[in-house]
């Protein structure tokens, strides 16, 4: 399913980035390769703005030495506040207080075989990268997207100016009554012209 939404504000949709978007990458890529080559993140942005990075819940300091495997979850954030934020910061002064996964080896599958990776964006990273991601389109599991739209109907319906499913215009009630299926939905969200 391909869903295109035109909205007056992106804010109500930002929770999707925190829940995660899916990308497909060749197995065995480093975290840097996934984010720069596949996720289209500027290398300078990765170095200077993504200050906290987790792979499957473990902090990552060396994005070139850690490899991404099947069903991996990458979480990206700017600086987090307090002692926890200082401890989790990439290559931060307090990073020695935590366990790290700087030398994880590539997954043991077929090298280059496509695998799904979920990328979650938080705080500054979500705000700064969100508009471009939504404009290019993101992949979200159908059941999760359907639940997201239902749970936030009161916030989303008033700001959505146009909705199309697979190229055909639909109303908000018609959208919610659609079967989203178990697979990923390609979602594009753009700002309505002022």
- Residue 1 pairs with which residues in a beta bridge? none
Domain residue limits at 103: 2-191
Q: Are 109 and 27 in contact (CB under 8 A)?
A: yes
Give the pLDDT of residue 127. Answer: 93
Alpha-carbon gap, residue 90 to 85, rounded angstroms: 10
Binned average pLDDT, 10 residues per bin, the chain of 194 residues: 95 94 90 91 93 89 89 85 47 50 48 86 93 92 96 95 96 94 95 88
Q: Considering the entire predicted model, what is its pTM?
A: 0.82
Alpha-carbon gap, residue 50 to 34, rounded angstroms: 14
17 phi and psi angles, rounded to 5 deg = -70, -35
Q: How many domains does the chain have?
A: 1
Give the pLDDT of residue 102. Answer: 46
Alpha-carbon gap, residue 1 to 186, rounded angstroms: 6
Alpha-carbon gap, residue 47 to 168, rounded angstroms: 41
């Amino acid at each position: 399913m391909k869903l295109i939404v035109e909205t007056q504000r992106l804010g109500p949709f930002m929770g999707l980035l925190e829940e995660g978007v899916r990308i497909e990458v060749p197995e065995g890529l480093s975290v840097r390769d996934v984010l720069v080559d596949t996720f289209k993140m500027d290398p300078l942005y990765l170095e200077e703005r993504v200050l906290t990075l987790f792979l499957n819940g473990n902090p990552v300091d060396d994005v070139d030495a850690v490899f991404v495997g099947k069903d991996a979850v990458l979480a990206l954030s700017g600086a987090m506040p307090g002692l926890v934020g200082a401890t989790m910061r990439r290559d931060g002064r307090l990073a020695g207080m935590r366990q790290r996964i700087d030398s994880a080896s590539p997954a043991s599958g077929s090298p280059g075989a496509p695998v799904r990776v979920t990328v979650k964006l938080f705080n500054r990273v979500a705000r700064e990268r969100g508009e471009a991601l939504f404009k290019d389109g993101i992949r979200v599991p159908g059941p999760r997207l359907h639940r997201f739209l239902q749970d936030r109907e009161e916030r989303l319906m008033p700001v959505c100016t146009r909705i199309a499913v697979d190229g055909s215009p639909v109303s908000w009630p018609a959208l919610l009554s659609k079967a989203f299926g178990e697979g990923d939905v390609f979602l594009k969200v753009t700002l309505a012209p002022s």
